[in-house]
């Protein structure tokens, strides 16, 4: 069964309709939302997110990388634990750019995926 979901960020496609995403893209979009949403940012879900964007300003170090990895893993398990199983999280911060790489398995399909997310803060 190949399902489609509303694409993130929300946009209109070339036909003038709501853009859709396949299952793999939808799961990636969900991960991105968890990573780059700060707790308190969503009115009806004040604890949603990972809080890693605030950590970028702590200065690059091994301790920062470990904190980001732990925060990302905890947030993904909390918010997407029914959809994915995280195998590995790698994080690095250079100047104001945060890079997070995640290896995971989509539980519904068993598909192994590896994604890289970057954000300038």
Q: Tell me the DSSP string of 39-70.
A: TTSSSS-TT-S--HHHHGGG-S-HHHHHHHHH
pLDDT in tens, 52-106: 877 766 666 667 778 888 999 999 999 999 999 999 999 887 776 778 899 999 9
pLDDT in the model for residue 1: 43
Domain ranges of the chain: 4-120
> What is 4-120's CATH number?
3.10.450.40
Report the predicted TM-score, pTM, of the whole model to 2 decimal places.
0.83
């Amino acid at each position: 069964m190949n399902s489609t979901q509303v694409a993130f960020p929300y946009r209109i496609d070339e036909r003038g309709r709501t853009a859709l995403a396949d299952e793999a893209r939808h799961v990636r979009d969900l991960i991105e939302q968890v990573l780059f949403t700060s707790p308190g940012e969503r009115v009806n879900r004040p604890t949603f997110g990972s809080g890693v964007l605030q950590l970028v300003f702590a200065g690059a170090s091994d301790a920062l990388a470990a904190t980001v990895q732990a925060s990302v893993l905890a947030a993904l398990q909390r918010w997407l634990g029914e959809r994915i199983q995280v195998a590995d999280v790698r994080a690095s911060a250079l100047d104001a750019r945060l890079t997070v790489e995640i290896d995971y398995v989509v539980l519904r399909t068993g598909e192994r995926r590896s994604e890289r997310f970057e954000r300038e803060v």
